[in-house]
Amino acid sequence: MQEGLSADVLLSLTQYSQGGDGGPMTRPQVILPGDDSPSAAFLDLRGSRHPCVTKTFFGDDFIPNDIAIGCPGNVEEGLDKGRAPCVLVTGPNMGGKSTLMRQCGLVVILAQLGCYVPAESLSFTPVDRIFTRLGASDRIMAGERTFFVELSETASILHHGTKHSLVLLDELGRGTASYDGTAIASAVVKELAERICCRTLFSTHYHSLVEDYTNNPAVQLGHMACMVENEGDEDPSQETITFLYKFITGACPKSYGFNAPRQPA
């Protein structure tokens, strides 16, 4: 029975590696820390796509994205893009932040299973664990509220994470007041980026948090791009947002929350 199950899994991975989602598929390059890699742990993902969304997507072409975490800078061009182990991800509501984070985690899982991945290229050092804190929900039967669940899961990440881990944190601190949430998020970013030094994608709407870490060498800033019409209008409700779903460097100036109710359900 076990041999049959293993064969089924291997055949499934082979079929996906050959067919994929119709876009480019690449063989991941796994680099052991300390061999050819100047950093302890890194992830360099180019032209990646979400392996599940692209299978069920009926709109325009899925927008591929690059994700570089802990990568060495390009000395020839004088760039340090991707060198920092922690990435603060900002952007408008419904702009693709959560999809980007899930996409990164799924691609790494496929790569470590020995499968080709939906991307133009992928090179990385092995990941010992993938930690996620995505979404917001309580555990009503256990008497645990949303904020408690957030903190308990985050505490587990900080306790068990190592420099070889991959951490995906989506809007930590949303379960409490903004002031308290910002303080908690800032402390967690500092711990992950400066003490644990693990590869981290940390999405947030706390723009004061972004300002605090703008000049921190252990943190890089990225955001989901968008085009804004009527941005200079005194009434922010008149702003019209066009999502580009492209992950680029730098911080998003604000979350454009007034645009969210206009989006179709």
Tokens coding 186: 């800032």
Phi, psi at 116, each rounded to 5°: -65, 155
pLDDT of residue 240: 78
- Coil vs helix vs strand at 182: helix
Q: Is residue 37 very low, low, confident or very high in pLDDT (cuts 50, 70, 90)?
A: very low
Nearest-angstrom CA–CA distance, 191 and 198: 10
Nearest-angstrom CA–CA distance, 136 and 108: 23
Domain ranges of the chain: 15-256
- Coil vs helix vs strand at 234: coil
- Coil vs helix vs strand at 106: helix
pLDDT of residue 236: 62
Distances (CA, A) of 143 to 59, 116, 139, 140, 149: 41, 42, 6, 5, 10
Strand intervals (E) in the chain: 29-30, 43-48, 65-69, 86-90, 121-124, 130-133, 166-170, 199-203, 219-229, 240-249
pTM for the structure as a whole: 0.86
User: Residue 94 contacts by C-beta under 8 Å, 6 or more apart in sequence?
Assistant: 243, 260, 263
Residues linked to residue 124 through DSSP beta bridges, in sequence order: 30, 43
- Coil vs helix vs strand at 19: helix
The H or E element spanning position 257 is: none
Per residue in 245-254, pLDDT (tens digit) is 999 999 887 6
Per residue in 102-131, pLDDT (tens digit) is 999 999 999 999 999 999 999 999 999 999
Residues linked to residue 7 through DSSP beta bridges, in sequence order: none
Per residue in 133-170, pLDDT (tens digit) is 887 676 776 667 778 888 899 999 999 999 999 999 99
pLDDT of residue 58: 67
Nearest-angstrom CA–CA distance, 73 and 44: 11
Q: What is the CATH code of the structural domain delimited by 15-256?
A: 3.40.50.300
pLDDT of residue 185: 92
Nearest-angstrom CA–CA distance, 211 and 214: 5
Residue 208: DSSP 8-state: H
The type of residue at 95 is G
Per residue in 203-236, pLDDT (tens digit) is 998 888 999 999 999 999 999 998 887 666 666 6
Q: Residue 134 CB: number of other CB atoms within 10 A?
A: 14
Report the DSSP pairing between strands 65-69 and 43-48. antiparallel
Q: Where are the alpha helices (DSSP H) in 20-122?
A: 53-56, 97-112
Q: Are 44 and 200 in contact (CB under 8 A)?
A: no
